[in-house]
Amino acid sequence: MMKIEIKNAVTEVRDASSVSEILSCGSELGEPCLLIVFPGKDFSADEPFPPETPYMTAIAADEDKAQEYRSAADLVIPAGDVDGYTEKLFKDKSLSQIREITACFTAARNGSQEYVLARESKAFYRLMAEKNGGSSNG
């Protein structure tokens, strides 16, 4: 049986059998910036996450299985150090900063170069406004 655990900007899914099973959970996944899948023993990597998925996707796998899962998600991360990996990825960042990074990453997944640059520029000005207490020069 699949289990879902939400931890701030990260949602962990355990024992899923497919990407479609995960996506069928909808709002139960929360609003993650990073979705980490700990695949079940029957997990099928034949079906990748769709390009329009609004968050980064990762599969936690041992080194011997990493290649098998590479095309199913954005990232394959070491199963034995998921917490360390996410800590390094989001180190010293606020939730709004993590959300902006995620939006830029997902734009880069399937957007044109112009779209990605525009998205990054908007994110930069929003983050600067947040840093400056609500005002920006852009």
Q: Residue 73 domain-assigned?
A: yes
pLDDT in the model for residue 25: 94
The pLDDT mean for the chain works out to 87
In the predicted structure, residue 82 carries a pLDDT above the cut 80: yes
pLDDT mean over 36-53: 91
Could you tell me how far CA 59 lies from the centroid of its own chain? 10
Whether 43 and 63 share a structural domain: yes
The count of domains in the chain is 2
Q: Residue 43 domain-assigned?
A: yes
In the predicted structure, residue 130 carries a pLDDT above the cut 80: no
Whether 70 and 7 share a structural domain: yes
Q: For 48, list phi and psi in degrees, rounded to 5.
A: -80, 165
Q: Residue 138 domain-assigned?
A: no
Q: Which domain holds residue 17?
A: 3-89
Q: Residue 137 domain-assigned?
A: no
Tokens of 67: 């290649």
Q: Treating both helix axes as pointing N-terminal to C-terminal, what angle do 95-110 and 113-131 enclose, rounded to 10 degrees? A: 170
pLDDT in the model for residue 33: 95
Per-residue pLDDT tens digits for 9-19: 999 999 999 99
In the predicted structure, residue 124 carries a pLDDT above the cut 80: no
Q: What is the distance between the terminal CA atoms of the chain, rounded to a whole angstrom?
A: 49
Whether 85 and 116 share a structural domain: no
The Cα–Cα gap between 118 and 104 comes to 9
